[in-house]
Amino acid sequence: MAGNRPVAELDARYSIPGAAPTPWAEALEGLEGAELFWLSTVRPDGRPHVTPLLAVWLDDALYFCTGTEERKARNLARNTRCALTTGRNALNEGVDLVVEGEAVQLGDDTRLRRVADAYEAKYGSEWHFVVRDGAFVGQGGRALVYEVAPATVFAFRKGEYSQTRWRFERN
């Protein structure tokens, strides 16, 4: 998806009259700069599981990591579909973003090193990871790393309310 700039679609049903779609550049700025995301996965019995985590935007995808036995890793082993959300806890300002896609576990050490470098650049040396045997290794032990290339992204602008959707085609 490198370099893919999707066309924004404004949903007038959830937008004030005269609203314009949120520009993709603004959504990217939000995805790159967000410190905290909420990951939604599906438990084996179908119930939702939502948890906060750190993530980095790199090469047109979001990346996150989790311990091998954590609920989110176990959920993703059964069902790779997920959503990551970020935004502001304010009613009348800011833009909330939702990235929907499938979480693909990374195993390539070269790509993992790039993601590890992005974590440290964004979050500081406390989030330094060593890459070993297809995973991150850090203070908390071994962590699996997932890539979520967006299938759909939503932007919910608050104040001057609008809803924008971007769809991504896969090659």
First to last CA, the chain: 8
Nearest residue to 53 via CA among 35, 32, 73, 68: 35
β-pairing, 37-42 vs 56-58, is: unpaired
Question: How many residues belong to the chain?
Answer: 171
Q: Where are the chain's structural domains?
A: 9-166
User: Does the structural domain 9-166 have CATH classification 2.30.110.10?
Assistant: yes
How does pLDDT run along the chain (171 residues), one tens digit per residue?
A: 445 668 889 999 999 999 999 999 999 999 999 999 999 999 999 999 999 999 999 999 999 999 999 999 999 999 999 999 999 988 899 999 999 999 999 999 999 999 999 999 999 999 999 999 999 998 888 999 999 999 999 999 999 899 999 998 765
Q: What is the pLDDT of residue 3?
A: 52
% of the chain surpassing 90 pLDDT: 84
Q: Is 6 left (phi over 0), alpha (psi -120 to 50) or beta?
A: beta
Per-residue DSSP letter, 127: G
In the chain, beta strands by DSSP E: 9-10, 37-42, 48-53, 56-58, 61-67, 81-86, 95-105, 130-132, 135-138, 141-157, 162-167
pTM equals 0.93
